[in-house]
Amino acid sequence: MCHNLPARLNMARRQIEWANEARVNIVEALGAACVLCGATEDLEIDVIHKTSRDPESHHHRKWNVSQRVTFWRREMEHDNLQLLCSTCNGRKGEPEPHPDETTQLPL
């Protein structure tokens, strides 16, 4: 163990550990599965209704991990969070493919 770490770095590390733990708690509270396909890996916390509180809508402002966790917790109280796997999250915003189109490849 290195005891010469600057106190600020130590704090930052503890904050990241705390945020990671908080994130896991939020994911579990949300069911720990993608709401679209049920995947349980590569989950991302998604804000259902983008609001002015959304850090993604304030690109000029850099949110630190604890601000992000605080934001997620607040949105969760408003039932405004859902889980998406990275695949479904990447697809978001595009029109849902018709079920027939996904099962029938064009010849």
> 59 φ, ψ to 5°?
-65, -20
- Report in angstroms how near the CB of residue 11 gets to Zn ion at its nearest: 35
* Cα–Cα nearest to 23, from 88, 83, 63, 80: 83
The residue among 16 and 37 lying less far from Zn ion, judged by its C-beta, is 37
Contacting positions for Zn ion (CB under 5 A):
34, 36-37, 39, 85, 88
- Report in angstroms how near the CB of residue 96 gets to Zn ion at its nearest: 13
* Cα–Cα nearest to 91, from 37, 11, 54, 29: 37
- Report in angstroms how near the CB of residue 3 gets to Zn ion at its nearest: 44
The residue among 26 and 83 lying less far from Zn ion, judged by its C-beta, is 83
* Cα–Cα nearest to 21, from 60, 79, 58, 73: 73
Is 92 within 8 Å of 84 (Cβ atoms)? Answer: yes
The residue among 12 and 36 lying less far from Zn ion, judged by its C-beta, is 36
